[in-house]
Structures are given as structure tokens and as C-alpha cells.
Amino acid sequence: MNAEELKNIQAPLKEKYRQQPETAIITLKATGKIGEGISCKVETGKAMVEAGLHSATGGTGMLACSGDLLLEALVACAGVTLQAVATAIGIEIKDGTVKAEGDLDFRGTLGVSKEVPVGFVSIRLLFHLETDATEEQMLSLAKLTERYCVVYQTLVKGVPVNTTFNKS
């Protein structure tokens, strides 16, 4: 896909969202089925993923770890966003990799220490790109990828999460 094709696809959507802002608001959903042992089966829309405890918390390591899934979602979103931005501003990416690394201290997760936070304490998002882009283009690519990556923005800004527990 080139910049003109991308603009032709997105232009009517952008116009519709300008004219009818309410049509731009959608709700994405995910559903999981509590599984046997300590697991949860999540339907991704393309496949079924079974998540379980990380081996650092007593899991076998045979099931997906939700922390890994979070990093994988970040990599996927950042990679797609990078490609869309590069296409839109005319930068050719010949090849590349996107990698996310996150540090956790499992003492928080396991309740060993109340002073240790539960969750990632830092996440690093790394891009290795084969491109002829100038330094200025690379700065624009980085800035725009960060600006428009949904998962990245959600993580860095944080959002309210409301929980509801219902008993059947």
C-alpha cells in the first residue's frame, strides 16, 4: 500500500468522523472463559489463547502469560502504527523489528511485599528499522508512531478501569 491508497481509504472515514463524531466511538470487547486449574481462555478474534500463571508465580510456563500478552499487544499496535505512519509520510521501511520488554517484581504480585508495586515498573519499546530515512524523518516517524499508537497511549496516559463482580 502506498500513501495515496492509504489516504483514499482513510479520507472518507475522517470526513464521516468530522461530520458525525458519534460514529467514531466504538467499543472493543474481549471475553475470557475461566478454565480448569488456574487459567482463562481468551478469544482473540483470530484464535483462542489460554492464559495462566507465569512460572515466577507458580505456573508451568505452558500457558500464555497475561504480561506477555500485554507486551505483544503493544508490539502489534506499535508495528502497525509505524507502518501506517511511514506509508503516510513517504518513508520506506525495508525491514524491521519491534520489541517490547517489561520489568516486573513478582514480590508485589505474590503479596510478599506491600511496598513493591503490582505490575510492570518499566516498559521499553524498541524499534530496529532498515530504512534510508533521514534523521529528521526518523524523528517524525517516532513522534507520530507514539502519538497514534492506541496501546502505547493507553499505557503512558493510563485510563480509568471500572470493575464489576456479579454472582450468578
Render pLDDT for 101-130 as a digit per residue (tens, 0 to 9).
999 999 998 999 899 999 999 999 999 999
Question: Has residue 33 been placed in a domain?
Answer: no
The mean pLDDT of 159-167, rounded to a whole number, is: 95
pLDDT at 48: 85
User: In Å, how far are 5, 10, 20, 85, 152 from 72, measured between CA atoms?
Assistant: 28, 26, 33, 20, 12
pLDDT at 89: 95
Question: Has residue 70 been placed in a domain?
Answer: yes
pLDDT at 38: 74
**pLDDT, the chain, mean:** 91
Question: Has residue 35 been placed in a domain?
Answer: no
Question: Has residue 93 been placed in a domain?
Answer: yes
Q: How far apart are CA 151 and CA 79, in angstroms?
A: 11
Is pLDDT of 162 > 80?
yes
Count how many domains the chain has: 1
Sequence-distant (6+) residues with CB within 8 A of 64 are 49, 50, 51, 52
| pLDDT tens digits along 24-52 | 888 877 777 877 777 788 877 778 889 99
pLDDT at 43: 79
Question: Has residue 42 been placed in a domain?
Answer: no
pLDDT at 49: 87
Name the residue with higher pLDDT: 146 or 30. Answer: 146
pLDDT at 61: 85
Range of the domain at 110: 65-157
pTM: 0.87
Residues 135/76, Cβ–Cβ less than 8 Å: no
Residues 51/69, Cβ–Cβ less than 8 Å: yes
Q: Which residues pair with 104 in a beta bridge?
A: 120
